[in-house]
Structure 1
Amino acid sequence: MSGLDARNARVTDHHHDHGRLLVACAEGDQGALQTLYQLEGACLLGVVQRIVHDRAVAEDIIHDAFVNIWTRSHTFDAGRGSGRTWMFSVARHLALNHVRRQGREVTVNDDHAERLEAERSLDAGTAMEDTFDWQGRGDLDRCLSALEPERRNCLFHAYVDGYSHSEIAERLDRPLGTVKAWIKRSLHTLRECLS
């Protein structure tokens, strides 16, 4: 078996065992960190890029995220959630901190403002379609697929992009109360489906 085949086999073997790999990282196993990067690096980059809207910045944040994953792997607690979820929260936290540091005000010229408004209108018009590449093979993915796309997108905007309920309502051109109700009911539905 070639080195590449062996590495791919190792990645496949550990696909659902992020927690064990994090424990190995805490014990100083650099190969475990490399395997986690191979498993989730691209997906984490996509999540972070959706938050910061800049590929170069997202790549820097992913680098920092994996440094944090390595140095803080000893704080992972399997009793509080999955290893994969913990990794995504580390990356998401760094991305949101970057956005907060940059501030929310952006000066734009009239052409750029019109383009942003056109994009927002297009987003609102396509809200019934999935705007996230999320399908997988686990129980959570099965339960998410049972939700209507617009409600599923609300959850992703809240928990992946880090948008507030008001920002989601504005983005989807829906009343704030409706968005809050969709998120609350969708979380309830997910809890029931997963229990």
Structure 2
Amino acid sequence: MSTTGRQDIEAMIARVSLGDRKAFAALYSATSAKLFGVALRVLNDRAEAEECTQEVFIRIWDAAGRYQSNGLSPMTWLITIARNRAIDRLRTRKTRPGDLGEAAEVPSAGPGPEALAIAASDRERIVACMGTLPQDRAEAIRRVYLEGETYQELADRFSMPLNTIRTWLRRGLQKLRECLTE
């Protein structure tokens, strides 16, 4: 089994920006499981995560020309697109008028073995790095980036000014990035 490296993914994105369908198919093969796992973690609904992943790849096709190699992993860019799209769907789900809410939802079967294996590969490092943050900062990061809460909801929850919450998140993410690159 071959692994696809950062340079390979960057090259695929560059070719996708030129309309190369084969490169797009290769990019999909190399990254779809990981991006699906991100969407599934945020949405906690397999069917909706599948739809979200399709939307993510449409967005990648459209936005590939705007990708800039900045020394960071191109997976960071792809995962950000997936996470943001999933959070948008989650927020839409929360604000839908006439929605019957969670009582009407059918529980999903949960992530499959492939998604679990992918998630487990990074989970230990992330958990260890989250443990280095103060508890309230770690909770704020989890609530915003995994559960889709808005900054304002966090400010209300912690009874803190909105700009303080933004600072917590920015500094917390910087500390996480430093920890994960060690």
Task: State TM-score, norm by structure 2.
Answer: 0.61
The answer to whether the Cα contact below 8 Å between 1:45 and 1:58 also exists between their aligned partners in 2 is yes
CA contact (8 A) 1:33 1:70 kept: yes
The reply on whether 1:56 has 2:47 as its aligned counterpart is: yes
Q: Distance in 1 between matches of 2:76 and 2:90?
A: 21
2:10 pairs with 1:27: no
Give me the identity figure in percent. 27
Question: What SS does structure 2 have at the residue aligned with 1:79?
Answer: coil
CA distance in 2 between partners of 1:90 and 1:67 (Å): 11
Post-superposition shift, 1:44?
1.4
Segments of structure 2 that go 5 or more residues without pairing to the other structure are 105-117
Q: Is 1:133 matched up with 2:119?
A: yes
Q: Say what the alpha-carbon RMSD is for the aligned residues.
A: 3.9
Q: Which residue of 34, 38, 50 maps to 1:47?
A: 38
Which blocks of at least 5 consecutive residues in structure 1 are unaligned? Answer: 1-7, 114-131
Contact 2:16 2:23 in 1 (8 A): yes
CA contact (8 A) 2:90 2:148 kept: no
SS of equivalent residue, structure 2 residue 60: helix
**CA shift in 2, pair 1:146/1:100, >3 Å:** closer
> CA separation of 1:134/1:154 partners in 2, compared to 1, >3 Å: closer, same or farther?
farther
By relative contact order (CA 8 Å, sep 6+), the higher-ranking structure is: 2
Alignment of 1:142-157 (within 5 A): 145-148=128-131, 154-157=140-143
Equivalent residue in structure 2 for 1:158, among 144, 148, 152: 144
Task: Mark the structure with the bigger radius of gyration.
Answer: 1
The answer on whether the counterparts of 1:47 and 1:161 sit within 8 Å (CA) in structure 2 is: no
**Number of positions where the alignment pairs a residue of Structure 1 with one of Structure 2:** 157
- 1:52-107 CA-partner distances (Å, limit 9, x unpaired): 33221221121121122123211111138532122122222322332333343654
Tell me if the contact between 1:47 and 1:160 (Cα under 8 Å) persists in the aligned partners.
Answer: no
